[in-house]
Amino acid sequence: MSTTTRIERIDVQLVDLQPAAVRVDAMQSFVKQETVLVTVHTSDGLSGTGYSYTIGTGGRAVMSLITDHLVPALLGRDARPVEALWRHMLDQTRATTVGAITSLAFAAIDTALWDLRGRRTGESLWRMAGGAHEWLPVYDTEGGWLHLPVEDLVDGAKQAATAGLRGVKIKVGRPSIAEDAERLAAVREAVGPAFEVMVDANQAFTAAEAIRRARTYEPLGIAWFEEPLPADDLHGHRRLAASTSVPVAVGESLYSVQRFGDYLAAGAVGIVQVDVARIGGITPWLKVAHAAEAFNVAVSPHFLMELHVSLAAAVPNGMYVEHIPQLRAITRSSLVIEDGQVTPPDIPGIGIDWDPDALDDHRVA
């Protein structure tokens, strides 16, 4: 092992971020983003920073798992072999894997190791991960929350179209199917047939209800039906996918590469929405993306646009980047979006320039 790339110190901090807008879906409200940041320092004086998140609960549990168990297991090891280090973390946490808290802890460390890798080699994450696309189209979610009146949905969709974005996501799950249909029809009429409209139920429906609602959505030319059912209902997703022409989008609530494999093999998913934090980091994210490629399934990752832009643009089957700004308060960098297309940052590491002073202001004691 090289003594110059040994992990000497790992810093962990928790930062709270308030959403820029009220966010309500069919199952929950986005109270705050608990952002767990990890900085890995090596003996050659380099460092890399990564992060993961929750939407209001569990942040301290993630931090405890990192500081109490994963940090001691990683100190002194060579920081370069990210695959071996990810497997080592797995071996140390067999009793809590697969699970959300463990995956989120892995992700913060794994992302830091990839950032460190890029800074050492002078390569961007986009290039290290494949560099398949120089840009990807963007769709907006921030104007489509479930609590918004139909007039606001229409205004938000028009603004997104005027800005050149390629689509909008509208939350569904109103008490009656008629309400959902009315809201979607108003948006479709406002933006025309060429502008993409996605829908997201946030796991609200039974299989029977999802099949029923999908039939209402079909005539509106919906781009995909996201999280229609609880994520562990593989059989229900397979039934739904077989019953509708609307692609079924799944992935933000799946926490292992193997579970994605189950969905792909069953024909239960038409759009893979793997979340780099919830899958456990960049290392497993790439496995999921390439597994989807093997099944000729597109990848449109969930949330975390500042990080996902580099990953989605790196793989051949990258489809869209979701526009939900969330790191502006603690970063000095911003994504370049022109004519509805986003360009991945081509600078060493993961491409996020953290603002130390802003992090101090938002840090949880």
Other Cβ atoms within 10 Å of 343 Cβ, number: 16
Could you give the CA distance from residue 235 to residue 213 in angstroms, rounded to a whole number? 18
- The span from the CA of 268 to the CA of 280, in Å, is 22
109: nearest Cα among 5, 58, 36, 43: 36
Catalytic residue among 287, 302, 308, 323: 302
Q: Which residues pair with 51 in a beta bridge?
A: 37
Cis peptide bond N-terminal to 98, omega within 30: yes
Q: Exactly one of 41, 133, 171, 323 is catalytic; which is it?
A: 171
Closest by CA position to 233, among listed 200, 198, 272, 259 = 259
Ordered strands of the 47-54 beta sheet: 7-17, 33-42, 47-54
Q: Across the strands, what pairs with 298?
A: 271
Establish whether 171 is a catalytic residue.
yes
Distance CA 19, CA 47 (A): 29
Tell me whether the omega of the peptide bond preceding residue 62 falls within 30 degrees of 0, making it cis: no
- 150-162 vs 177-191: helix axis angle to the nearest 10? 30
Neighbours of 296 (CB within 10 A): 8
Q: Which residues are catalytic?
A: 171, 302
